Chain A
Amino acid sequence: MYTQSLDTAKPESGEAHTPTVSAAQALFTAKMRADKKVEPRDWMPDAYRKTLVRQISQHAHSEVVGMLPEGNWISRAPSLKRKAILLAKVQDEAGHGLYLYSAAETLGTSREQMQDALHSGRAKYSSIFNYPTLTWADVGAIGWLVDGAAIMNQVPLCRCSYGPYARAMIRICKEESFHQRQGFEIMLTLAHGTVAQKTMAQDALNCWWWPTVMMFGPPDAASIHSTTSSQWGIKRISNDDLRQKFIDATVPQAELLGLTIPDPDLTWNAECGHYDIGTINWDDFWKVVNGDGPCNRERLATRVKAHEEGAWVREAALAHAAKQRARSLKEAA
């Protein structure tokens, strides 16, 4: 799973640098040009740090919230095998959230600050998780399409200029491929099943296709932060290029499944060697981003509830550890 390429913050206007910082700034710029990595204690411009904290934490929140639509199906998955697979996948998402929170923490933010930003609604997470998983086929479609789109986006992030983020992404990408394949296999099984099962698979594709295509974020022309992010080596490939890559890879997969992509304008453009798609309904995208998707409130409420109801456990664990420590000190004395 991943964060959508969406920067909701306003672009920073020309940074003011004190003379002492400008030498460090020059070094940093040279580093960016030479495609070198930045590590946590290296000097970095405030805007670079802020952009990374925002992007990495948003990404981490997406992994955590991303567990909700699937977690709902762990007990309902159609067989013990499917339950075990889904459980493993959801556990991976939790792990991905942890890798990313850890990477963000190296930039000087705390886990509590990030969680608070999520729970208070200040921080965004990928809008894709604000859609419901009403049938088992939705779980398959999430794996195939949503995780497929995530991989497209995440592979270039493995070369991100910030070391801890790049390392987290390498780990995540290694695990993500299983997610997409298990999803495709669910779709394949349904597509070769009864008429009702195939219809269910087609309905899921109808539901998830456009939201997934929109996961790559607004068109390049409307993306406010892309230029700085690409100069900084945070964003390597543009939203539109990634989206095209995803479409070109996915259309033949849908054909293989015998399912129809819900876009009457979808055509192969032999001239440029890509698929052309119909017009994307960005109004729908912004509606969901701005809080009015089918599940925005429910997702956030579930997160907040889990966090609040877990408070006593976190507190008790800390108290228990303190008691154990005191006891072992006493025994040693």
Chain B
Amino acid sequence: MNDTTAAWPLWEVFIRSKQGLEHKHAGSLHAVDAKQAVQMARDVYTRRMEGVSIWVVPSEAITASDPDDKAEMFGPMEDKIYRHPSFYKLPREVEHM
């Protein structure tokens, strides 16, 4: 196969499933530009009314945390259970605080 065509860039697709909810990552696709990426995302990810709004982001524009840094990134929160309301034992009378 002598395919001279350069690869189309990769886009990440985010879908808002209904008004009032956040856009959530749905998947990715290849498209030549943002406009085409939105059109394709519509055909691929909203064929059954899964969305009312679409975001597309070039995949290369995303900066992600390093999985190898997981321990130092997220570990320090492990012993800070006082950040959760359940840490505090209150008298029965104020149970609904």
Using CB atoms and an 8 Å cutoff, list the residues of chain A in contact with chain B.
39, 41-43, 88, 91-92, 95, 98-99, 102, 105, 110-112, 115-116, 119-120, 167-168, 171, 175, 304, 307-308, 311, 314-315, 317-318, 320-321, 324-325
Set B5, B33, B68: member contacting A315, Cβ < 8 A: B5
Known: A99-B27, A112-B3. 15 other contacts (CB 8 A): A41-B64, A41-B67, A91-B47, A98-B27, A102-B28, A110-B7, A111-B7, A115-B1, A167-B27, A311-B4, A311-B5, A318-B5, A318-B6, A320-B32, A321-B32
A99 to chain B, nearest CB (A): 6
Q: What are 5 A-B contacts defined by CB distance under 8 Å? A: A92-B47, A95-B44, A110-B7, A116-B1, A318-B8
B66 at the interface (CB under 8 A from A): yes
Bound complex: CA A180 to CA B10 (Å)? 32
Q: Mark B1-42, 1 if CB is under 8 A from A, else 0.
A: 101111110100000000000000001111011001000000
User: Is there contact, CB below 8 Å, between A307 and B1?
Assistant: yes
Using CB atoms and an 8 Å cutoff, list the residues of chain B in contact with chain A.
1, 3-8, 10, 27-30, 32-33, 36, 43-44, 47-48, 64, 66-68
Measured between beta carbons, the chain A residues less than 8 angstroms from B64 are 41
B37 to chain A, nearest CB (A): 10
B30 to chain A, nearest CB (A): 7
User: Is there contact, CB below 8 Å, between B10 and A325?
Assistant: no
User: Is there contact, CB below 8 Å, between A105 and B10?
Assistant: yes
User: Is there contact, CB below 8 Å, between B44 and A314?
Assistant: no
Asked, given contacts A91-B47, A102-B27, A102-B29, whether A314 binds B8 with beta carbons under 8 Å apart, the answer is yes
Measured between beta carbons, the chain B residues less than 8 angstroms from A99 are 27, 44
User: Is there contact, CB below 8 Å, between A120 and B10?
Assistant: no
Q: Which residue of A is nearest B70, CB measured?
A: A42
User: Is there contact, CB below 8 Å, between A95 and B1?
Assistant: no
Bound complex: CA A163 to CA B56 (Å)? 21
User: Is there contact, CB below 8 Å, between A324 and B1?
Assistant: no
Bound complex: CA A91 to CA B10 (Å)? 21
Bound complex: CA A102 to CA B27 (Å)? 8
User: Is there contact, CB below 8 Å, between A111 and B4?
Assistant: no
Measured between beta carbons, the chain A residues less than 8 angstroms from B66 are 41
A72 to chain B, nearest CB (A): 22
Set B3, B32, B44: member contacting A317, Cβ < 8 A: B32
Set B3, B7, B43, B67: member contacting A311, Cβ < 8 A: B3
Asked, given contacts A98-B44, A102-B27, A111-B7, whether A318 binds B1 with beta carbons under 8 Å apart, the answer is no
Measured between beta carbons, the chain A residues less than 8 angstroms from B3 are 112, 116, 307, 311
Set B1, B6, B28, B33: member contacting A325, Cβ < 8 A: B33
Bound complex: CA A98 to CA B4 (Å)? 21
Asked, given contacts A39-B67, A325-B33, whether A95 binds B47 with beta carbons under 8 Å apart, the answer is yes
Q: Which residue of A is nearest B45, CB measured?
A: A95
B13 to chain A, nearest CB (A): 10
Measured between beta carbons, the chain A residues less than 8 angstroms from B68 are 43
Q: Which residue of B is nearest A42, CB measured?
A: B67
Bound complex: CA A305 to CA B7 (Å)? 19
